[in-house]
Structure 1
Amino acid sequence: MNKILLSKFLRARQSFHRVAQCRLKVDYEQRGTTCVALLKHLDIANVLSGGNEVILDPTAIFKLSEHTYCPRESITRQLFYEHGGVSFNMFMKWKQIQCHPALYNKTSDTEPASVVDFVNQEIEITNFPQPIKNKSQEFFIVMKDNATKSVLISQRDIFVNVNMSTLKPAPYADHCKELFNDTTCNKGPEIHDQVEKRCQSVAECPQNTLYTKYDKVSARQIDFQGHLNQGHYVDFVFDCLAEAMMKGVVHGISSVFERRIKTISVLYVKESKFGDELNTTVWMDDSDSMLFKFHVRRDSDLICQAEISLY
């Protein structure tokens, strides 16, 4: 990877261009709590390319799925006013993104898709909220090629309801449970049950790691609650892995463009705020050379844990 390509690669996560011609189609009466977003095509900024090699920016995957959460935010505001300020205070606890082979539009393990193939896809993203448990709620998200109906990405998110006074997990209000229950919620396709849940408990970081990258939380990375936006942790771990490969410390792989992302799993442990100095450390799984594990820390405090597996 030359310096021009590296510069382009790192700039891709400095800003996220809006998805062009996005139409959000939601019919609450026919679809219940399920939300569908139809994207006419991707923005070119969603794609990272190196020569004939192409990958979809991991942060773009994260951002695209957020389109389907917009209707839920409208419901949140409505419930807030209807029930005296008691509503959702949901914080992301865990996320897993599964990239299926159809995403890369390849007929073999070595044939890459082109930038044109990526950008010209019309994509349907469907979010299937699951029944609320006592203090948590899970969401199933499926991203399909609207022409072929091939599954490109399947995703699982777990949110925890938090008491803003104590900052600890708290039971959902009854009116929230009435909205998301076994009757109103669509379980969604079985594909989610076929994917192993990973990275759901904290793993010990070994003494011998591959690489550590240092970052400082900037103002543009902060969300409305004053925390580092959850999507930027994906930036940190992916950039850490990319730099490790370029430094030559990952045996047999010198660039992220040599492989395709299979899964990204993230466990959120603590919040991070503006000005925090974070260090992201990557190591390779002992039994799988295509599985990389990460800790994001503030000094010795674990903020986030992640895994990335490659095809």
Structure 2
Amino acid sequence: MTQRADHITLFTRLITDPGTDAGVFARARDRARGAEAAGIDALLLHDSQSAATAPAEDPHFEAGTLAGALAVSTRAVGLVAAMSTEHALPYHVARVLATVDHLTPGRAGWQPLTGADPAAAANYGRADGPSSAAARRSRAAEFTAVLTGLWDSFDDDAFRRDRESGVYFTPEKLHALDHRGEHFDVAGPLNIARPPQGHPLLAHRPADADDIAFAARVADVVLLTVPDGEDPARLREAVREQARAAGRDADGIAVLIDWRVDGGPDEAERLRALFAAGAADGFTLLAPAGPAEAAHEAVLSLATAVRAGGHAPTATREGTTLRDRLGLPRPADRRAA
């Protein structure tokens, strides 16, 4: 992604609370709206396929369902749902994300969960436990290819809805997928029109060097943790190099580095300096330890301070897609291209 001088991309994880009272979703909704007002570009909706050892660490909502609920409760912020490539099936995930993209419209994203989780494997009847990292990556790569193929089931202009001619839809612009692969056999087509973004945004958090190569091949946004002593600008350029090696335009990827919010008086200025130095296209703001409400407010305070420095979102109006907001290209319909 070519850095735009007027925009620092900001993501953060939506904090949800445990409990069964009627206010649980209301608090999540209000925090989402607060993040939107503070200039956060997208919310990461965490999920897990097994129970945490500490119940307070559970995500409390299934991410796809939460994204659908927040779609009608927010106007501009992106909604990036974490969904497992190990235990879900591509057709179901494609329908969920396409639906959210249409509901928003154009603010859906997904974060593929590819990590090993023995408890989740047991929940899905896999007695042999989680597969190897290479096998999980292979499945995730094919999963992604199936999703993008399903989202291209209809051409962008397949639905004419022309009252004068009586033509609602052009059958020739509907395409079966007929995917046969190592992990999945999917006939298609998807029974939902092509999403407003073409493909909902893919944000991936790599776990190792091989995972960075995978992210550089398929992701729109790469979420990086920078180890102590590492140069974030070097890591960003490494991702861009991997993208070029995979035949992609490196300017079509945004690299965000994790930033643990500390509340320091010059914190916003430090972020602006890192951005100006080319160390990142933006940041994932990680909430500090402590009570949920205070942690959430600390994130909003920092986001507001960053935006006050002149790095306002490109657009926050209703109807602007997440890709537009981040300056990322909309994938062309492969058949039309």
The two structures have a TM-score, normalised by structure 1, of 0.28
The structure with higher relative contact order (CA 8 Å, sep 6+) is 2
Name the structure with the higher strand share: 1
Name the structure with the higher helix share: 2
The two structures have a TM-score, normalised by structure 2, of 0.27
